A and B are shown apart, each in its own frame.
Chain A
Amino acid sequence: MPMLRGFLILVLFFLFGEALRLVFLIPVSGGVLGMIGMTLTLMVKGSVSDSLAAASQGLISVLVLLIMPGVVGVFFTADQFSGQWLAVAVALLAGTFLSVLTTLLLMKWLVQGRNRSQAND
């Protein structure tokens, strides 16, 4: 029962996000708008109820299950993108390498700069 109550809250925030998207024609999915609404609400409220925590942990732990029907599709729609696989593979490998490198260098530089300025204070 408590978990279902938490689930109801998640569903209500999702519906709220969908409503915002449709009424104001926002090009962002209802789930994301609901998530932002949820985070802001919790920041104002200052705590998470047990039922909401239980429902969200339950759903997040089965995320992999929920995306599997979509993942499987890649094996059945492969023909549709024949001739583009090299572009896709290079973009994923080289692109991810570059973005990991950028993130690590930027964070390292910024965190070190912060520690140095604190040491000088």
Chain B
Amino acid sequence: MRRFDSALGLEARRGPVATALKVLVYTAMIVVFTGPLIGLLVSAFGKTLDPTSFTLWPDAFTLTNFVQAADKNVYTYLLNSFVVVGFGLLLQMLVSVFAAYALARKKFRGMTVVMLIMLATMMLPEEIIAIPLSLVLADLPLLNLDLIGTYAGMILPVGAWGFSILVMTEFMKEVPVELEEAARIDGAGELRTFFTIILPLCRPALGVIGVFGFTMIWDQYLLPLIVATEPDMWTLPIALRSLRSDEEVGIGVLLAASLLALLPSIIAFLAFQRQFMRGLTSGAVKG
């Protein structure tokens, strides 16, 4: 009898027709979903001058576009992106592990409310609050700080990320209580227990929130668009628009910059695939 490991039972079928069909389907999928990205990779190294030379087949190999990119400040934008994602991710992860520790390991009044509030923010798309957020950033209540046009304005808001807190909390709940109590009996303080016992045990979850946080912050568009008022503070994704309309250079510089803006998230995904897939279903909450 045939085995049924899948709904269509495709993997059980053998023979030339079935094999040919499978190869066709898989190839088509790979071409359709990676084609545009490979096109970008190839074209960025080509002598592209007009939009129509975007191609999957290389005509030449040249680094001209990347050299010209320097004149157009592309590497400054790239650096800005790295600054924002670096500090933003650090802040987000720290804030999340601290909050998760309280939510997972402590019992206190108001815990359910805090949890609900954090979940609620995950249902609130940041686009909706873009306009009032820009006003709040321009004049932080009580502190009277103006964060528009500062790196802090792009970094601080990404620190509040419900998804990371949620994933971390669920993971921390699984860490056995005995370990914590043993540490306490040995005289370790609260922070010490947290940093030497709990956090090292949460390394897999740190990987999950790290790689998701990275892709999320790298992909930020509206926030830097609002905050970075001066061109020299632009992050790479929002700089692409001005590169496109720059008539001094061809489309090649745009392609080179696009490739640079694309690579970090792809590298992060390929390097941390397992964590990424693991967080995917829990990430479905946020999407």
- Are these two chains actual partners, yes or no? no
